[in-house]
A and B are shown apart, each in its own frame.
Chain A
Amino acid sequence: MEEKKVILDIRNFSVSFEQYEKGFQKTKLPVIRDLDVTVHGGEMVAVVGSSGSGKSLLAHGILGILPYNASMGGELIYDGAALTKERQMALRGNEIVLVPQSLAFLDPLMKIGPQIRKGKKDRASKERLNQIFAGYHLKEEVQGLYPFELSGGMNRRVLVSTALMGTPRLVIADEPTPGLHMEMVRRVMSHFRELADKGAGVLLITHDLEQALEVADRVVVFYAGTTVEDAPASDFRSEETLRHPYSKALWRALPQNGLQFIKGTQPYVKELPKGCPFGPRCESCTEQCKGEIPSREVRGGRVRCIHAV
């Protein structure tokens, strides 16, 4: 896998919200800081973090669809060159695609077929869609249905189909399996695995470590807006191979490892502690943890913890 080409390389990525009030004063809310993710072609990378930690903003940042009062910083490299606004506009929906989490992301008043074709009526688009549907064993009649008419079994395949009208090289899946049972999760994940096996890079954004481990090659652990660890999925087989105390805590919280949860909650962006954001909940926190925490290479993975060995 090492020799595979890097498709997406994100360094020190940050997203902050500017809030204007009357009197034109603004505050900056740094929702994401120091986020590093790399995705290779053919690889499936999972970004795992708890719900509401701003993970979706990563997807929106890559696609260039952040709300107007958000600004982003850091380096975004796609396919060897900086991912500028112009490139984002040209590539999204085409080479860079998003698979949404639910049918709520489809226009309720537009039939499935035209909607996936983005309103295009030319022959080529129609044939392409027919092919995609055939590949997922979806009947052609499904194209004439409205989103609310889809059955639970169909809607996942329809949502994945939306990504395939172009020639996807980077697939971003934002919580693609909310509230599904494991059997269904496996089936959905197999669709993504298939895409990765065909050479695309897949970035899976999820709060569920368990399902991430099922399919992903690498897992990036996200805490309070920062990536704390980047490790091969195999490292999650035991606590010892992990590097960051939060990753270890996540591991211990897995059902097969005893469902032990740590105390406390993730800090709100406005009340971040100095230095390591995990500090207040960490057993091995020391005075040095309140300083700058660089990202280090440890045993073939990356970690933001000065104590990690």
Chain B
Amino acid sequence: MKRVNGRIMTVFFFALAVLFLAAVTAAGWVFSEEALVTDFSRKNLGPGLQYLFGTDWLGRDMFIRTLTGLSMSIRIGILAAGVSSVLALLLGTMAATMGKTVDAVITWVIDLVMGIPHILLLILISYALGKGLKGVVVGVALTHWTSLARVIRGEVMQLKEALYIRTARKLGVGGFEIAWKHMFPHLFPQFLVGLILTFPHAILHEASITFLGFGLSPEQPAVGIILSESMKYLAMGRWWLALFPGLFLVFTVVLFDVAGENLRRLMDPGSVHI
């Protein structure tokens, strides 16, 4: 009974988080035109019922701008985290299965990537790709695969030594079949949880690099750009320009974390009865 109950709660939280994130993503997409609409009759309004998050110096609705910005951040985050996780899966598996040299090289590359502070590496990659959206996606994707790759490498190494895999090999089961039928089902949950837990980092770094001025062009209402613009108006007391978009960003990141943690709980049979 209780076991089911705990699961229902977990599923509930997971679904809630996913639903909210999907809603934000969709809403931002739909309103992307409106986010750019300027109206000088309503500029510099504080937050109120009509404009939840207030308006900026061009009279743009900050709530809609925030939604659009977050929507873009989420989409970039999903793309980058997806690429990053697949990279981690590939490199982690390669390191574990393709012999000592490959393992050494990949481990070396992991150390290398971890040796440059993330933000600095993002700046470098963004510079290499001539800045802009491409730089952000590639940058975030290339900086976030390392820890998941390590996890997967360790997992595959353990699996390789597992009795049933060795038995299967002795029975003459082919390498591909072993990988697909016996290893993949074990790796998939790890991979999925890793993927979802990469999102929050990806979004945070996307926002950060955009905030610094490397990512998207200033016309696009990305959260990083909204917050970076707000700095100029901070001293004038227009606190809402920075507060609400930031809060919303934090909330989104927390929700991704919640979704990931709950999914981990669902996937891990050991933690269910704690």
Binding site for B on A (CB under 8 A): 19, 21-23, 25-27
- A23–B6 touching, CB < 8 Å: yes
Tell me the bound Cα distance from A21 to B1 in angstroms: 10
Q: For B10, list chain A residues within 8 Å (CB).
A: 22
Closest to B9 in A: A22
Contacts between chains A and B (CB distance < 8 A), count = 20
Tell me the bound Cα distance from A129 to B43 in angstroms: 81
Q: For B5, list chain A residues within 8 Å (CB).
A: 21-23, 25
Closest to B13 in A: A22
Tell me the bound Cα distance from A19 to B5 in angstroms: 13
Q: How close is B10's CB to chain A, nearest CB, in angstroms?
A: 8
B3 interface hit (Cβ, 8 Å):
yes
Tell me the bound Cα distance from A25 to B273 in angstroms: 12
Q: For B1, list chain A residues within 8 Å (CB).
A: 25
Q: For A23, list chain B residues within 8 Å (CB).
A: 2, 5-6, 9
B1-18 CB mask vs A (1 if < 8 Å, else 0) is: 111011001100000000
Q: For B2, list chain A residues within 8 Å (CB).
A: 19, 21, 23, 25-27
Q: How close is A289's CB to chain B, nearest CB, in angstroms?
A: 30
Binding site for A on B (CB under 8 A): 1-3, 5-6, 9-10, 273
Main DSSP-derived SS at the B contact region: helix
Main DSSP-derived SS at the A contact region: loop
Q: For A26, list chain B residues within 8 Å (CB).
A: 2
Q: How close is A145's CB to chain B, nearest CB, in angstroms?
A: 33
Between-chain CB contacts (< 8 Å), 10 pairs: A21-B3, A21-B6, A22-B5, A23-B5, A23-B6, A23-B9, A25-B1, A25-B5, A26-B2, A27-B2
Q: How close is B8's CB to chain A, nearest CB, in angstroms?
A: 9
Q: How close is B43's CB to chain A, nearest CB, in angstroms?
A: 48
- A19–B6 touching, CB < 8 Å: no
Q: How close is A16's CB to chain B, nearest CB, in angstroms?
A: 15
Tell me the bound Cα distance from A19 to B273 in angstroms: 8
Closest to A25 in B: B2
Tell me the bound Cα distance from A175 to B93 in angstroms: 42
Tell me the bound Cα distance from A21 to B8 in angstroms: 11
Tell me the bound Cα distance from A25 to B6 in angstroms: 9
Tell me the bound Cα distance from A21 to B5 in angstroms: 8
Q: How close is B7's CB to chain A, nearest CB, in angstroms?
A: 9
User: Which 8 residue pairs are nearest across A and B when measured between Cβ atoms?
Assistant: A21-B2, A21-B6, A22-B9, A25-B2, A22-B6, A23-B5, A21-B5, A19-B273
Tell me the bound Cα distance from A21 to B7 in angstroms: 10
Q: For B6, list chain A residues within 8 Å (CB).
A: 21-23
Q: For B9, list chain A residues within 8 Å (CB).
A: 22-23
Q: For A19, list chain B residues within 8 Å (CB).
A: 2, 273
Q: How close is A20's CB to chain B, nearest CB, in angstroms?
A: 9
Q: Given A21-B2, A21-B3, output 6 extra A-B contacts at Cβ < 8 Å.
A: A22-B9, A22-B10, A23-B5, A23-B6, A25-B5, A26-B2
Tell me the bound Cα distance from A27 to B273 in angstroms: 11
Interface centre among B2, B3, B6, B10 (most CB of A within 10 A): B2
Tell me the bound Cα distance from A68 to B6 in angstroms: 21
Tell me the bound Cα distance from A22 to B9 in angstroms: 7
